[in-house]
Structure 1
Amino acid sequence: MSSLAQLAISKLRKAGLGDVLHVPGEQTYEATEASLAPYSQKLRPWAIVQPRSTEEVSKAVKALVSTKGLQFAVRSGGHMWADYSNNIKEGVTIDLSLMTKRTYDLETKLVSLQPGSRWKDVYRDLCEEGLLVVGGREPMVGVGGFLIGGGLSFFNSRKGWSCDTIVNYEVVLADGSIVQANKTTNPDLYLALKGGSLNFGIVTRFDMESMESKNIWCGMAVYPKTSNNQIIDAYVDFTNNLADNPDDYVFLYAYRPALEEDYTISINLSDMNGIANPKPLQKFLDIPNPISNKDDFKVKTLYEKLTDYVVPSANYTNWEAITVQVDASVLRRASGEFEVLISKLRRAIPDNNFIARMVTQPILKSWARISASKGGNVLGIENLPADCLNILVGIEVQSLELREKVGRPAVKALLADVKSYAKSIDKDADWLYLNYCTDGQEPFATYGAKNVKLLKTVAAKYDPNRVFQERVPGGFKISKAPLMEKL
């Protein structure tokens, strides 16, 4: 072990963190590394420290920042795909997975969440109390990274982004100080954290608006790819009317499992008020010849929905997304390129052992108006030219070499082709959702000049020594985003 590693470990022990400090070979260290979903994130840091409280996060930050030349990482759920975004090789990882406290204040009606919880656990506890928050849609995603990246949820069309429902952040800054950020205390930091990711400090508590937990009507219909055109037409029509029907939710999911020859298209449908077969979803329900049984649609809690819908994540993964305007021809182009991607992978991977996915979901301009009514955020979707679609493509392969030489280039080629086609018919949109970005993308550059300037100013004010720009290398850094005259 290097002298720098030994010094950092010694400082963490002197800070009183010895009982939550783990090094290679220890059972907790090995289990924590094994729990990381993307294999490429299993980097084996010099040590992992697992704070149990905000005060222990502060102690850890002070100890690590005072170790000259040391770099560190911060992990909530460890679900982000960009390499080094939640772990580090030559450095120390602050793992927040023990910080899972969830409380409800009867007077303020706020739910307070620590960052280490997974959304399935949050919903389980809240649903038992008849409550909900605007949170994630996949059970194993961590609270922390999801919320500081913005947060796509089942409720965007009604409530805005998940970050729009946060009324206060508790934050450990780079000097170890603990501050609150809300509309009246550190309001600039409060705004920057609503989509600004890990650029200012470590959020140790999110105080969120609560709402009544309603049962939802939901299910997934699976179709052969021959139904593609009818599904796309129904989806475009649904999205064009979604702002007027904010309690219905649909996303499309093209899936090609390992070892299979072809892919299917799943339509994930929900009515968040529990209304069966609602009119806005009828065009999907009328599509004939599903592979699945439509009788499987049921009324459930949101917790039950999440436990039924788990996206497996293993092997070496690459996910990447673009944004385009709502248009049927662009979606058909994407479907055709998805088949090209599968063909490329078949030729390059003789045993056919890979997984390919393409997910399509809406990004509406009306969400910006909801955000503005709650004080705004820094995501910049008010600059979108029209209602849009996020097209997210992912692959899983058996080795890092296959991911880098075959999988990632194939995904990038697909998205580049779709982007080029959309631009050629004036249906492009220059915006990226940070939580879906991967290495080589720069989401902050798409947030708009005003937001980029704000984020840079806030980072310089609250982290003048650039700890979260240089000493925490993972994730997306506002220092790398160019200042622009316009979007």
Structure 2
Amino acid sequence: MKYGYILAAGLAAGSVDGHLTGSLCCNRLSHHVPSLYQDPSTASYEQLINARWSNNSILHPSCVVTPKSADDVSRTIRLLTTYRCNFSVKGGGHNANPGANSIDNGVSVDLGSLNSAYLASDRSYVSLGAGITFGQAYDLFNHSNVGFVGGLHDGISAGGLSLGGGTSLFQASKGWAVDNVLNYEVVLSCGTIVNANQKNNPDLFKALKGGNTNFGIVTRVDLKTFEFKKLWDAEVVVSLKGPQVGRSEMLDKISRTMVDFVANNEKDVATSIHVAVTFVAATQEELAILAITNSDDVEDPAIGRPARAVPNQRANVARHGKVADYVHAISGFQRKGSRQVTATLTISNDYDTLREIWDASDKVYNELSQKVGVQWIVQIFPQPKIQQSYSMKHGGNSLGLADVQDDQLVIWFTARWNNTGFDNMMDNAQKRFVQATEEVARKHGTLSPFLYINFAGYFQNPLCGYGPESVAHLSEVARKYDPRGVFQYLMKGGFKISEADCGYKG
């Protein structure tokens, strides 16, 4: 099912496919919003365009607009639609897909200055500007004794996470980050500023929770809080090639440890485990990292002990600390500054499938014509079925998981390199990874249609994985709140509901 918009026909009056060129748009903006305007002649332009997690997502817009308030965003979007300008929107820039948060020869709207954060007087929620990163937010509230469901990397923005789902430290105890959003402040394509919550614009509220960039520009997110002081965490780093056991047995143990943990996660929702297996670019070693956390600050919880007992250990470090300290520490594993690709799939919590996925991943890696300088990372995020129970308590979401009765695993593939000559090789590799691992899951009957949109590669179609009911709702809401299709056709980047050709009837 695809659908069109009035705007698609109305664009014929512009100079290039109905649009003004980037330079002409920027000329208009320089006169209308000079205090927000940056172009290649200004000192901060390079800093703004380079502020991305992945170097291959750095593009070269004709100019950058840096709104400092929702009113600034409103004024900017009115100008962009009036002049029919192609534009992109950036929050934290934590997406490796080229074009996801930038644009060549168009207008980049950079929300980085929307970085306000305050705690409500009754301590029931935090209000975060869409451009603030969770690293900044955790630091600001580090000593406030409140917790909120946010990102697992300090470079992820509040706006970006809250439109995609949001994995966190509190997956089993609180659900997705979107299920903890109380309110979105949104600028619509007409420039109107609205709030979306369970009482006001509830259809938009539900659609935004996983619906990506299809409805408006989110300028503020209000997240429910809870009393929270410290967590306990441990990071176990192991070699896959000895000295105690060999590679195959290590992957057996890691797979069994993860699957058994997720199957029992409902018995201890405060504990979470996240696994990453990586070929290290500098040394060509193959390591696994098992990160165990307990959000109740319980030291060495029983459910996490098998992960701390795996052989071939290089390090096994535990501590009590703040969320900010933990997230900054683990973010060092994937800092910005490299070229990157990303892709994802979701499987049932099945040992045989997970174990074979490691082998399928290895096969794709070993087929690379160049390996030196490539870091290959496969991460596993538990999705215990209990987390789906939190959605309907807070207005539902768009993820299409409400009826899922099985524990699942979200698999996130990333690879990092610096040599631009590897770009085509790595683009093919991310597609081969998805093809090979999906074949394994199909063989076992464990492949889920769900694709976590914030991990998805540009070539994937995560909106269709939400199912026909959710896709129909997203389409209806997009038509209602953006009848001219500004966020389908003028705004570049993200996964468009107008392009979600899912094969559904309707």
Q: What interval of TM-score do these two structures reach, taking the shorter chain for normalisation? A: over 0.9
**Partner of residue 312, structure 1:** 335
Alignment of 1:249-268 (within 5 A): 249-268=272-291
Is the alpha carbon distance of 1:138 and 1:223 closer, same or farther for their aligned partners in structure 2, counting shifts above 3 Å? same
Measure, in 2, the Cα distance between the counterparts of 1:367 and 1:37.
29
Structure 1 counterpart SS, 2:206: helix
Letter in 2 for 1:174: S
> 1:286 deviation in Å?
2.2
Is 1:318–1:407's contact at 8 Å kept on the other side of the alignment?
yes
**Partner of residue 452, structure 1:** 471
> 1:228 deviation in Å?
2.1
Letter in 1 for 2:188: L
Find out whether 1:335 has 2:358 as its counterpart. yes
Higher relative contact order (CA 8 A, sep 6+): 2
Structure 1 length normalisation: TM-score? Answer: 0.94
Find out whether 1:43 has 2:62 as its counterpart. no
Is 2:361–2:436's contact at 8 Å kept on the other side of the alignment?
no
Residue-by-residue CA offset, 1:289-319 (whole Å, 9 max, x unaligned)? 4111x2x200010001012112223332101
Alignment of 1:417-436 (within 5 A): 417-436=436-455
Find out whether 1:469 has 2:488 as its counterpart. yes
381-390 or 357-366, which deviates more: 381-390
> 1:484 deviation in Å?
5.5
Q: How many residues align?
A: 477
> 1:46 deviation in Å?
0.3
Q: Which runs of 5+ in 1 are unaligned?
A: none
**Partner of residue 211, structure 1:** 226
Is 2:263–2:384's contact at 8 Å kept on the other side of the alignment?
no
Find out whether 1:26 has 2:42 as its counterpart. yes
Is 2:357–2:440's contact at 8 Å kept on the other side of the alignment?
no
Is 1:158–1:246's contact at 8 Å kept on the other side of the alignment?
yes
Is the alpha carbon distance of 1:349 and 1:25 closer, same or farther for their aligned partners in structure 2, counting shifts above 3 Å? farther
Measure, in 2, the Cα distance between the counterparts of 1:385 and 1:403.
40
**Partner of residue 159, structure 2:** 144
Measure, in 2, the Cα distance between the counterparts of 1:5 and 1:411.
31
Measure, in 2, the Cα distance between the counterparts of 1:304 and 1:107.
26
> 1:483 deviation in Å?
5.7
> 1:339 deviation in Å?
2.3
Q: Taking every aligned residue pair, what percent have the same amino acid on both sides?
A: 27
- RMSD between aligned residues: 1.7
Find out whether 1:175 has 2:190 as its counterpart. yes
**Partner of residue 377, structure 1:** 397
Which residue of 344, 367, 379 maps to 2:367? 344
**Partner of residue 407, structure 1:** 426
> 1:482 deviation in Å?
3.4
Structure 2 counterpart SS, 1:168: strand
Which residue of 181, 186, 211 maps to 2:201? 186
**Partner of residue 149, structure 2:** 134
> 1:401 deviation in Å?
4.4
Which residue of 83, 100, 103 maps to 2:118? 103
Is 1:274–1:299's contact at 8 Å kept on the other side of the alignment?
yes
Is 1:20–1:51's contact at 8 Å kept on the other side of the alignment?
yes
> 1:288 deviation in Å?
3.1
> 1:139 deviation in Å?
0.9
Q: Which runs of 5+ in 2 are unaligned?
A: 1-15, 241-246
Letter in 2 for 1:11: R
> 1:108 deviation in Å?
6.4
Structure 2 length normalisation: TM-score? Answer: 0.91
Measure, in 2, the Cα distance between the counterparts of 1:5 and 1:446.
34
Is 1:152–1:161's contact at 8 Å kept on the other side of the alignment?
yes
57-66 or 253-262, which deviates more: 253-262
> 1:122 deviation in Å?
0.4
Letter in 1 for 2:320: V
Measure, in 1, the Cα distance between the counterparts of 2:191 and 2:146.
33
Structure 2 counterpart SS, 1:8: helix
**Partner of residue 9, structure 1:** 26
Alignment of 1:114-133 (within 5 A): 114-133=129-148
> 1:338 deviation in Å?
2.8
Measure, in 2, the Cα distance between the counterparts of 1:314 and 1:130.
33
Measure, in 2, the Cα distance between the counterparts of 1:385 and 1:472.
37
Is the alpha carbon distance of 1:313 and 1:344 closer, same or farther for their aligned partners in structure 2, counting shifts above 3 Å? farther
